[in-house]
């Protein structure tokens, strides 16, 4: 079912939470504490994305377990970024174990991750997929539910839709097409970070100078706050807000 995390705030190293925290993403790759809906390890790949000073997001992905990469701790330790996202993958049965199936996904200046599973894939989402331009559908990075969800979301973001509205639409559309799906999303453009909780665990913690959002707390600090189910956490320079995932925030529904 995967584990993921994202940070927004004053520059810091991704290595702190990916590798060095007591319950780091590395630990969550082989000993997760709150995997709901099946799975015990996240060994089908990993990804790390971050924002550099003078460019859009940079990204590294691999289809091997995170614990097999002896070079990444030093690489991540050399990076300091105001916004980053990382994920480890537990691939759903029948979906390919390939580099392109790993979050974070990128495009239009965004980083995106999906923690969960779409029920009844791929039949359940056939009508949704048919709404995509044929060229986008034929050039998907990988044949997985997460990649399709990113393509659907990206269409709305590129049309200028508010990110929270787009995420709310995506959650509602997939839940209607595939009831019981697990749909925890992370999305950032380097200025705003949004995380959604939909039948899966998600928490956040104010680190002082920045906020970390994660599938599981990375330590036992009492400052971790669970995000209520069917809600979103939105982090900006002005602070943190918890917002309900309403039926539809898109302009067409207003």
**Residue 248: closest CA among 187, 160, 173, 153:** 173
Among the listed residues 18, 16, 27, 13, the one whose alpha carbon sits nearest the alpha carbon of residue 87: 18
Beta bridge mates, 211: 8, 206
d(C-alpha 124, C-alpha 223), whole Å = 39
pLDDT at position 251: 44
Give the range of the structural domain holding residue 12, as residue numbers without chain letter: 3-253
Determine the 3-state secondary structure of 192 from DSSP. Answer: coil
Q: CA distances (Å), 33 to each of 20, 29, 150, 215, in order? A: 17, 10, 27, 10
Quote the pLDDT of residue 194.
Answer: 99
Q: What is the pLDDT of residue 35?
A: 76
Here the CATH number for the domain that contains residue 51 is: 3.60.20.10
d(CA 230, CA 244): 6
**Buried b or exposed e, range 75-111, using 16+ CB within 10 angstroms:** ebeebebbbbbbbbbbbbeebeebbebbbbbbeeebb
Q: Both tokens of residue 114?
A: 């999906």
Whether 218 is catalytic is no
- Catalytic residue, chosen from 1, 2, 178, 183, is 2
Number of domains present in the structure of the chain: 1
Block means of pLDDT (10 residues each) for the chain, 254 residues, are 94 98 97 77 96 90 97 98 97 89 97 97 96 95 96 98 98 97 98 97 97 98 98 97 74 39
pTM above 0.85, yes or no: yes
């Amino acid at each position: 079912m995967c584990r993921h995390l994202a940070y927004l705030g004053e520059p810091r190293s991704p290595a702190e939470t990916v590798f060095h925290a007591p319950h780091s993403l590395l630990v969550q790759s082989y000993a997760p504490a709150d995997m709901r809906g099946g799975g015990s390890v996240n060994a089908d790949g990993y990804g790390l994305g971050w924002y550099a000073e003078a460019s859009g997001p940079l990204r590294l992905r691999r289809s091997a377990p995170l614990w097999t990469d002896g070079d990444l701790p030093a690489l991540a330790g050399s990076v300091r970024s105001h916004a980053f996202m990382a994920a480890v993958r537990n691939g759903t049965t029948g979906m390919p174990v390939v580099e392109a199936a790993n979050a974070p996904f990128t495009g239009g200046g965004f980083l995106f991750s999906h923690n969960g599973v779409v029920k009844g894939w791929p039949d359940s989402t056939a009508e949704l997929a048919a709404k995509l331009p044929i060229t986008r559908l034929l050039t998907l990075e990988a044949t997985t539910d997460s990649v399709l969800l990113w393509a659907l979301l990206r269409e709305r973001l590129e049309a200028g839709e508010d990110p929270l509205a787009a995420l709310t639409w995506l959650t509602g559309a997939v839940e209607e097409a595939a009831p019981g799906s697990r749909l925890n999303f992370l999305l950032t453009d380097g200025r705003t970070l949004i995380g959604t909780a939909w039948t899966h665990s998600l928490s956040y913690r104010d680190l002082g100078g920045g906020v970390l959002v994660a599938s599981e707390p990375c330590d036992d600090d009492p400052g971790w706050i669970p995000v209520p189910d069917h809600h979103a956490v939105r982090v900006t320079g002005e602070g943190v807000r918890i917002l309900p995932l309403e039926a539809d925030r898109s302009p067409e529904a207003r």
